[in-house]
Amino acid sequence: MEKQRIERQYLSVKELSQYAGISVHTLYLWVQLRKIPYRKIGKLVRFKLTEIEGWLEDVKVEAK
C-alpha cells in the first residue's frame, strides 16, 4: 500500500507565527480584535493557509 502525502490546510498559532514571522502574542491580539481570518475548533485557534496567504496579499502596502 502506498502512503499518500497529506498536505496541511490549517496552521496553529505557533506554526503561523513561524511561517509569517509574526509573534504569537500579536497573532492572539489580532484574533481577539478579529483582524485576521481564523477558525475556532473547540478551544483551538486555527488558520487556513489559503485564507492567510490571501489576507497577506490584501494587507500589502504598495510602494509609491
- 17 falls within a domain: yes
pLDDT of 33 = 97
Q: Is position 4 within any domain?
A: no
Domain extent, residue 25, equals 10-58
On the question of pLDDT at 1 being above 70, the answer is no
pLDDT at 3: 57
Phi, psi (deg, nearest 5) at residue 47: -120, 130
Q: Is residue 2 part of a domain?
A: no
pTM given for the model: 0.80
Q: Is residue 5 part of a domain?
A: no
pLDDT at position 62: 83
Could you read off the pLDDT of 13-41 as tens digits, one per residue? 999 999 999 999 999 999 999 999 999 99
Burial per residue of 32-61, b for 16 or more beta-carbon CB atoms within 10 angstroms, e otherwise: eeeebebeeeeeebbbebeebeebeeeeee
How many domains does the chain divide into?
1
Closest CA to 11 of 32, 39, 42, 43: 39
Query: In the prediction, which pLDDT does 4 show?
Result: 57
